[in-house]
């Protein structure tokens, strides 16, 4: 069976061609949006089947419909090059394609501001129907309680029977217009290992543009910091790795850089109203326009609850600029940096103690509230562009009804249908149409990717949505 170019490939080809025929000197306009007429045609440089123009049996079939073997031509020149393959050889068409696309790229560079690959990924996520702008990770129940108080938009989403993860999701407005899609999760236990696992699942389930750690932390500079102050990471330093030698342990810290855009947003946060919405301070003082203060700098992250001034002093001696210490950010950052598509990262916490023998829980609730309130003000300041389009609201009740219909039956029916009705390329196109990146579905076989797609929608409580989308492809087979 002849392999057809994917929809994504066709879109990339027409974009690279600038909507113009690649044949030298051709001035034919290929697209007429006002009438919906398309005159452009996709021409194979090397024919996909034996007997076709410029067919090369040594050329792998799997590359026949890739962009490097395709060129956009008008109907006249498509017919011309196929009728005279001796003149219009594969090499000649490759040169024609490269020259034309280079001219288009140069013209576009002069006309519009270019963006790098990371910016392109971010823009693509802004228009994806199911992408999330911000994912928030908290480690303690009191941190989640504070988050839910300042983000009443967040509603619990029932996890699927096959998943141990539970999420809260909602749409959060900004003061400058537009809305962010936000998802939050509570870690089952504290620590970087659990944080890394949970964040990897969160990224796979929701594909966020940014992930933020929120909650409480231990301060390291009691002379320059107050309890309740906000600490924001410009980087996170994982201080546990080291090499054991005869004369002691050689520290080999690992450092994760926070997202530059988010740091800039925090440095320029002018909204101080959030401070007046905080609960009473345990010390009886009143919050003001400048209290709690915001500190930006490196945050240490490890596996220890530090309650000894000596250990805190050792950390400061090796990293003098440290502003706080905690136990989850390194794991979250590691998962974010390891994702197939890089996810921006930031930590916003509040100081609840100073990592010494006086450590207590007295300030934890207030600090959790301060961190959540500051985060709400930060998102309200619109630090990055908002996503486009709507986001279907799925409540816990709606999700429960969906699963009550019988998830096992839904999964089996969907799995059998998608595996039998769609070939590999059709399944890739189907994923594109429903807003799922095919390359992010793990597995070497189509069946494994189908399984992961079903589980992904089930985790979101949208098994019925996937069933409706799948009702079209292959539904007329055998009719």
Q: How many CA atoms lie within 13 A of 276 on its CB side?
A: 5
H or E segment and range at residue 245: strand 242-245
Query: Is there a contact between 375 and 168 (Cβ–Cβ < 8 Å)?
Result: no
Residue reference for tokens 């992250």: 301
**The CATH homologous superfamily of the domain defined by 119-380:** Nucleoside phosphorylase domain (3.40.50.1580)
Query: Is there a contact between 23 and 102 (Cβ–Cβ < 8 Å)?
Result: no
Residue reference for tokens 């009143």: 286
Q: Which long-range contacts (CB under 8 A, 24 or more apart) does 119-128 make?
A: 121/341, 121/342, 122/209, 122/384, 125/207, 125/209, 125/341, 125/387, 126/209, 126/385, 126/386, 126/387, 126/388, 127/387, 127/388, 127/389, 128/207, 128/387, 128/435
Going from N- to C-terminal start, the domains of the chain cover 7-114, 119-380, 403-470
For the chain, 479 residues long, give each residue's pLDDT as a single digit of tens: 455 677 777 888 888 888 889 999 887 778 776 666 777 888 889 887 777 888 887 765 545 557 888 999 988 899 899 888 899 999 999 999 999 988 888 887 665 555 555 555 555 555 455 568 999 999 999 999 999 999 999 998 865 555 678 899 999 988 888 889 999 999 999 888 899 999 998 988 888 889 999 999 998 888 888 999 999 999 999 876 555 556 655 566 788 999 999 999 999 898 889 999 999 999 888 888 889 999 999 999 887 666 555 666 677 667 778 999 998 999 999 999 888 677 899 999 999 988 766 777 899 999 999 999 999 999 999 998 887 655 554 433 333 333 344 456 667 777 888 888 888 778 887 887 777 778 777 776 788 788 888 877 776 667 777 777 777 544 444 33
pLDDT (0 to 100) of residue 405: 43
Residues 6+ apart with CB under 8 A from 464: 402, 405, 410
The Cα–Cα gap between 287 and 274 comes to 10
pLDDT (0 to 100) of residue 474: 44
The Cα–Cα gap between 39 and 286 comes to 70
pTM of the model: 0.61
pLDDT (0 to 100) of residue 182: 94
CB atoms within 10 A of CB 165: 17
pLDDT (0 to 100) of residue 402: 38
The Cα–Cα gap between 479 and 472 comes to 13
pLDDT (0 to 100) of residue 394: 43
pLDDT (0 to 100) of residue 398: 37
């Amino acid at each position: 069976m002849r392999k057809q170019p994917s929809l994504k490939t066709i879109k990339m080809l027409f974009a690279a061609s600038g909507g113009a025929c690649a044949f030298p000197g051709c001035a034919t306009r290929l697209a007429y949006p006002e009438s919906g007429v398309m005159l452009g045609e996709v021409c194979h440089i090397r024919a996909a089947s034996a007997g076709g123009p410029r067919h090369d049996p040594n050329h792998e079939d799997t590359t026949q419909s890739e962009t490097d073997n395709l060129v956009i031509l008008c109907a006249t020149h498509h017919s011309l090059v196929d009728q005279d393959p001796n003149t219009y050889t594969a090499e000649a068409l490759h040169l024609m394609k490269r020259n034309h696309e280079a001219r288009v790229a140069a013209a576009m560079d002069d006309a519009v501001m270019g963006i790098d690959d990371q910016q392109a990924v971010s823009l693509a996520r802004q228009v994806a129907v199911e992408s999330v702008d911000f994912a928030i990770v908290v480690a303690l129940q009191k941190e989640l309680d504070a988050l839910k108080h300042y983000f009443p938009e967040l509603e619990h989403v029932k996890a699927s029977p096959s998943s141990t993860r539970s999420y809260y999701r909602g749409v959060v407005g900004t003061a400058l217009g537009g809305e962010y899609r936000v998802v939050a999760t509570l870690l089952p236990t504290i620590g970087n290992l659990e944080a890394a696992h949970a964040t990897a699942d969160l990224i796979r389930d929701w594909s966020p543009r940014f992930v933020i750690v929120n909650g409480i932390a231990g301060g390291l500079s009691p002379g320059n910091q107050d309890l309740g102050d906000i600490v924001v990471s410009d980087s996170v330093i994982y201080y546990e790795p080291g090499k054991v030698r005869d004369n002691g342990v050689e520290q080999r810290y690992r450092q994760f850089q926070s997202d530059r855009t988010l740091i800039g947003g925090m440095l320029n946060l002018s909204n101080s109203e959030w401070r007046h919405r905080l609960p009473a301070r345990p010390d009886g003082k009143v919050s003001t326009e400048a209290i709690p203060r915001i500190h930006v700098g490196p945050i240490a992250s490890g596996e220890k609850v530090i309650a000894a001034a000596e250990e805190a002093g050792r950390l400061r001696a090796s990293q003098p600029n440290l502003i706080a210490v905690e136990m989850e950010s390194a794991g979250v950052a590691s998962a974010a940096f390891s994702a197939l598509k890089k996810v921006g990262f930031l930590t916003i916490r509040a100081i609840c103690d100073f990592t010494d023998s006086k450590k207590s829980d007295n300030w934890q609730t207030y600090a959790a509230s301060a961190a959540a309130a500051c985060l709400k003000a930060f998102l309200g300041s619109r630090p990055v562009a908002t996503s486009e389009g709507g986001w279907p609201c799925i409540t816990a009740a709606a999700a429960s009804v969906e699963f009550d219909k019988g998830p096992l039956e839904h999964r089996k029916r969907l799995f059998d249908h998608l595996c039998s009705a769609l070939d590999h390329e059709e399944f890739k196109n189907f994923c594109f149409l429903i807003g799922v990146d095919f390359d992010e579905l793990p597995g070497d076989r189509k069946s494994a990717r189908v399984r992961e797609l079903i589980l992904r929608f089930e985790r979101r409580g949208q098994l019925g949505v996937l069933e409706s989308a799948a009702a079209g492809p292959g539904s007329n087979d055998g009719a």
